[in-house]
Amino acid sequence: MGNLSLLITLNLSLNMLEGVIPSTLGNCHHILSLFLNDNKVNGKIPVQLLQLSSLSIVLDLSQNNLFGSLPIEVGNLNMLTTLKLSDDNFSGNIPSSLGGCSSLLRLSLKGNLFQDTIPLSLNSLKGLAVLDISHNNLSGHIPRFFEQFKLKYLNLSYNDFEGEVPMVGVFVNESAFSVLGNRRLCGGIIELGLPKCKETSKFTKKLHLYLIVTLIASALFTATCLAYAWCKKKRKSHLSQSSTCERHLKVSYSQLLKATNGFSESKLIGTAWRNLRHRNLLKIITSCSSIDFQGNPFKALVYEFMPNGSLHDWLHSSGNTSRLNLLQMIKILIDVANALDYIHNHCLPTIIHGDLKPTRFLGTSYQNNSTGIRGTMGYIAPEYGLGSEMTSNGDIYSFGILVLEAMTGKHPTDDIFNEDLCLHKFASRALLDNVIDIIDVNILNLYQDDRIVLQNNEENAKKIEECLTLTIKIGVACSMDSPTQRMDVKKVVRELQRILDTLENIYGTLFIIQV
Ligand SMILES: *[C@@H]1O[C@H](CO)[C@@H](O)[C@H](O)[C@H]1NC(C)=O
Ligand SMILES: *[C@@H]1O[C@H](CO)[C@@H](O)[C@H](O)[C@H]1NC(C)=O
Ligand SMILES: *[C@@H]1O[C@H](CO)[C@@H](O)[C@H](O)[C@H]1NC(C)=O
Ligand SMILES: *[C@@H]1O[C@H](CO)[C@@H](O)[C@H](O)[C@H]1NC(C)=O
């Protein structure tokens, strides 16, 4: 089966298949849905299956005889919306990596032997609408973060949970959740008929507080003493053997003072970087300022490694790498727009990216030494060519080109473009005619895969077409020649979010029809 590497959906449910799941299924790099439920397969889940990051609709392994722990690689399935592992024989802890499956809408671990507490990392599964972990051996308190989820159904029955049942969010509606068969629970809404929770008396609370304060105070004291002793020792050893530091050259204050002309304004390139924190921006892990083996100055910023590569790789690589579908693409565009909104509108001072594009930042950047403007051909705003100062509007232009490239699969410097026809024009013409003609066929994977369903549902087909048109409109509106006519990034985020909501609703109904 592993040779069928172009499979998009594999449905083997409701058979009498035995034996183990072949690890060669890991070659089906395009697969969106895999149904193996209601068979008699046994053994462990092959790790290769969990490395199929293309899985974005369903992975259903329920009602089999699978056993062993759930491998931590499950966290790779970050596009997956439905994961069903119910009524197998899985055991061990729920791995905290499961928190990486942040697209999940439905998760069922019901009827297994999972034990211990629910990991805190599941806090990140904020989109969950359906969660069933009934009939396991889970213990500890019911996590408070479930209160914040948009859960429509939560089943915690027949476990060994203890402590208070919350009374907020899903826990308000008796028919939306179940905590039956957990003997040590208390509180919750009155309909549950559980005993009241024993209040910790004021005295014990005070005592706890006092203990904590004392503990912190003594810990601080100890830490200070240790640090003092350590510094003293360090200074001594530093004096005696200063040559050991050569391999990790550190910059001293006096060196910095000298190099920056006494921290002069003219040498300042930014003060905001340390505080830049956004989930769609890469964190700078550390910096390195040293000399290389030839004795030349060497400076580097060290970023977190992104193993899935760049958007450019996903758009233009040929061969057997899996492609992104429409839903995934819109999510990426929202992430980029959110990061832009953050650096433009929520950082002080405002930060201009200046070189937004789908590749990693290394590459053939363009730098005009006379104006100090940098950027990349194809993505650089036209006004920069006329010597304009860099503004956030310039970033919006690059974003618009990125949207159009993502949707059409056409590089802005593609051979078909010339002085008379650029990507922006190409797209805006199609808006007057037929948008579908310019959309990258790979994005339409979902659309084609589910054509049969959609044929019977013209309404959905029409909605998808509308979403495509709206997205192209955003790309065109962001890449207008005139900076002031470009769309506001906040509006971009809002409109893309609306498109995503529509698509996710369609996905939801497709799922129901398929199952
Ligand atoms: C499930 O696991 C338990 C204990 O590990 C074992 O006794 C039982 O036979 C298993 N059930 C199935 C259906 O494999
Ligand atoms: C349930 O979990 C506890 C530890 O949390 C363990 O001692 C016990 O054996 C488990 N029960 C089963 C049936 O696996
Ligand atoms: C919750 O799960 C238990 C056991 O799987 C089941 O008996 C019960 O009907 C479920 N509750 C609801 C409200 O569906
Ligand atoms: C309570 O939950 C049920 C089942 O999910 C749902 O049909 C109903 O609309 C909910 N009621 C309220 C007031 O949210």
Ligand 3 touching residue 178 (CB < 6 A): yes
Task: Say whether both 270 and 149 belong to one domain.
Answer: no
Residue 413 Cα, ligand 3 centroid: separation in angstroms? Answer: 57
pLDDT one-digit tens code per residue, 254-293: 666 777 777 676 665 555 755 567 777 877 666 767 777 7
For residue 174, give the ligand nearest its CA.
4
Q: List C-alpha distances in Å: 204 to 207, 210, 454.
A: 5, 10, 63
- Scan for tokens 């499950």, then name that residue: 74
| 104-113 burial code (b ≥16 CB/10 A, e <16) | bbbbbbbbbe
Q: Is residue 208 one of the residues assigned to a domain?
A: no
Q: Which of 60, 87, 88, 355 is catalytic?
A: 355
Q: Supply the pLDDT for residue 223.
A: 44
Task: Say whether both 389 and 485 belong to one domain.
Answer: yes
Q: Is residue 215 one of the residues assigned to a domain?
A: no
Q: List C-alpha distances in Å: 370 to 385, 386, 387, 400.
A: 11, 12, 9, 27
CB contact at 8 A, 48 and 72? no
Q: Does residue 385 or residue 511 have the better pLDDT?
A: 385
CA angle 493, 498, 501 (to 5 degrees): 125
Cα dihedral 478/481/485/491 (nearest 10) = 10
Task: Say whether both 296 and 317 belong to one domain.
Answer: no
Q: Supply the pLDDT for residue 307.
A: 76
Of 177, 192, 207, which closes a domain? 192
Ligand 2 touching residue 137 (CB < 6 A): yes
Report the 3 state secondary structure along 208-264: HHHHHHHHHHHHHHHHHHHHHHHHHHHHHHHHHCHHHHHHHCCCCHHHHHHHCCCCC
CB contact at 8 A, 328 and 376? no
Q: Does residue 325 or residue 478 have the better pLDDT?
A: 478
| Ligand 2 atom nearest residue 137's Cα | 1
Task: Say whether both 162 and 255 belong to one domain.
Answer: no
Structural domain boundaries enclosing 441: 311-514
CA-closest residue to ligand 4 atom 11? 173
Task: Say whether both 363 and 497 belong to one domain.
Answer: yes
Task: Say whether both 261 and 345 belong to one domain.
Answer: no
Is residue 477 over pLDDT 70?
A: yes
Is residue 500 over pLDDT 90?
A: yes
Mean pLDDT score, 221-231 = 45
Is residue 363 over pLDDT 80?
A: no
Round the average pLDDT of the chain to a whole number and report it. 81
Residue 176 Cα, ligand 4 centroid: separation in angstroms? Answer: 6
Is residue 222 over pLDDT 80?
A: no
As given in the structure block, the two tokens for residue 472 are 């192209």
CB contact at 8 A, 442 and 409? yes
Structurally, the chain folds into a number of domains equal to 3
CA-closest residue to ligand 1 atom 5? 89
Task: Say whether both 156 and 296 belong to one domain.
Answer: no
- How many other CB atoms are there within 10 angstroms of residue 52's CB atom? 23
Residue 89 Cα, ligand 2 centroid: separation in angstroms? Answer: 14
Q: Is residue 232 one of the residues assigned to a domain?
A: no
Task: Say whether both 367 and 407 belong to one domain.
Answer: yes
Of 275, 303, 331, which closes a domain? 303
Ligand 2 touching residue 12 (CB < 6 A): no
Lowest mean pLDDT among 57-71, 105-119, 359-373, 408-422: 359-373
| 412-431 burial code (b ≥16 CB/10 A, e <16) | beeeebeeeebbbebbbebe
CA-closest residue to ligand 3 atom 12? 178
CA-closest residue to ligand 3 atom 5? 134
Q: Supply the pLDDT for residue 452.
A: 44
pLDDT one-digit tens code per residue, 50-91: 999 889 889 999 999 999 999 999 999 998 999 999 999 999
Is residue 424 over pLDDT 80?
A: yes
Mean pLDDT score, 383-405 = 91
Task: Say whether both 319 and 274 belong to one domain.
Answer: no
| Ligand 2 atom nearest residue 115's Cα | 2
In the residue annotation, 420 being an active-site residue is answered as: no
Ligand 1 touching residue 89 (CB < 6 A): yes
pLDDT one-digit tens code per residue, 451-460: 444 555 778 7
CB contact at 8 A, 79 and 105? no
Confidence of residue 375 (pLDDT cuts 50, 70, 90): confident
Give the residue among 80, 41, 85 at the shortest CA–CA distance from 60. 85
Identify which of 39, 62, 67 to mutate to test ligand 1's pocket (most ligand atoms within 8 A of the CB): 67
Q: Supply the pLDDT for residue 267.
A: 60
Give φ, ψ of 185 to 5 degrees.
-90, 155
Residues 162, 138: Cα–Cα separation, whole Å: 10
- Preceding amide of 143 cis, omega within 30: no
Q: Is residue 488 one of the residues assigned to a domain?
A: yes
Identify which of 115, 139, 141, 158 to mutate to test ligand 2's pocket (most ligand atoms within 8 A of the CB): 115
Ligand 4 touching residue 152 (CB < 6 A): yes
Is residue 431 over pLDDT 60?
A: yes
Residue 182 Cα, ligand 2 centroid: separation in angstroms? Answer: 14
Residue 185 Cα, ligand 2 centroid: separation in angstroms? Answer: 18
Q: Supply the pLDDT for residue 306.
A: 76
Counting Cα atoms < 13 Å in the Cβ hemisphere of 189 gives 14
| 381-395 burial code (b ≥16 CB/10 A, e <16) | bbbbeeeeebbbbbb
Q: Are strands 366-368 and 373-375 parallel, antiparallel or unpaired?
A: antiparallel
Task: Say whether both 335 and 395 belong to one domain.
Answer: yes
- Helices 458-478 and 423-432: crossing angle in degrees, nearest 10, is 140
CA-closest residue to ligand 3 atom 9? 178
Q: Does residue 330 or residue 371 have the better pLDDT?
A: 330
pLDDT one-digit tens code per residue, 152-201: 999 999 999 999 999 999 999 999 999 999 999 999 999 999 999 886 54
For residue 180, give the ligand nearest its CA.
3
Q: Is residue 214 one of the residues assigned to a domain?
A: no
Task: Say whether both 335 and 278 belong to one domain.
Answer: no
The enclosing domain of 446 has a CATH number of 1.10.510.10
Q: Supply the pLDDT for residue 240.
A: 35
Mean pLDDT score, 226-254 = 45
Ligand 4 touching residue 173 (CB < 6 A): yes
Ligand 1 touching residue 255 (CB < 6 A): no
194 Rama sector, left if φ>0, alpha if ψ -120 to 50, beta otherwise: beta
Give φ, ψ of 288 to 5 degrees.
-135, 125
Is residue 249 over pLDDT 90?
A: no
Q: Are strands 82-84 and 373-375 parallel, antiparallel or unpaired?
A: unpaired
| Ligand 3 atom nearest residue 175's Cα | 13
Q: Are strands 153-155 and 82-84 parallel, antiparallel or unpaired?
A: unpaired
Q: List C-alpha distances in Å: 282 to 15, 24, 155.
A: 46, 34, 37
Q: Is residue 206 one of the residues assigned to a domain?
A: no
Confidence of residue 207 (pLDDT cuts 50, 70, 90): very low
Residue 180 Cα, ligand 2 centroid: separation in angstroms? Answer: 19
Task: Say whether both 63 and 153 belong to one domain.
Answer: yes
Considering only CA atoms, give the Rg of the chain.
28
Q: Above pLDDT 70, what percent of the chain?
A: 76
CA-closest residue to ligand 2 atom 7? 115
Lowest mean pLDDT among 245-249, 388-392, 447-451, 473-477: 245-249
Q: Supply the pLDDT for residue 235.
A: 47
Of 257, 287, 303, which closes a domain? 303
Identify which of 64, 66, 87, 89 to mutate to test ligand 1's pocket (most ligand atoms within 8 A of the CB): 89
Residue 79 Cα, ligand 4 centroid: separation in angstroms? Answer: 28
Give φ, ψ of 297 to 5 degrees.
-60, 140
- How many other CB atoms are there within 10 angstroms of residue 376's CB atom? 20
Task: Provide DSSP, 149-186.
Answer: S--SEEE--SSEEEEEEP-SGGGG-GGGEE-TT-TEEE
pLDDT one-digit tens code per residue, 95-134: 999 999 999 999 999 999 999 999 999 999 988 999 999 9
As given in the structure block, the two tokens for residue 333 are 């565009």
Q: Is residue 406 one of the residues assigned to a domain?
A: yes
Q: Supply the pLDDT for residue 208.
A: 44
Mean pLDDT score, 214-219 = 42
The enclosing domain of 112 has a CATH number of 3.80.10.10
CA-closest residue to ligand 1 atom 2? 89
DSSP classification of residue 96 = G
Q: Is residue 485 one of the residues assigned to a domain?
A: yes
Is residue 244 over pLDDT 80?
A: no
- How many other CB atoms are there within 10 angstroms of residue 37's CB atom? 24
Identify which of 85, 180, 182 to mutate to test ligand 3's pocket (most ligand atoms within 8 A of the CB): 180
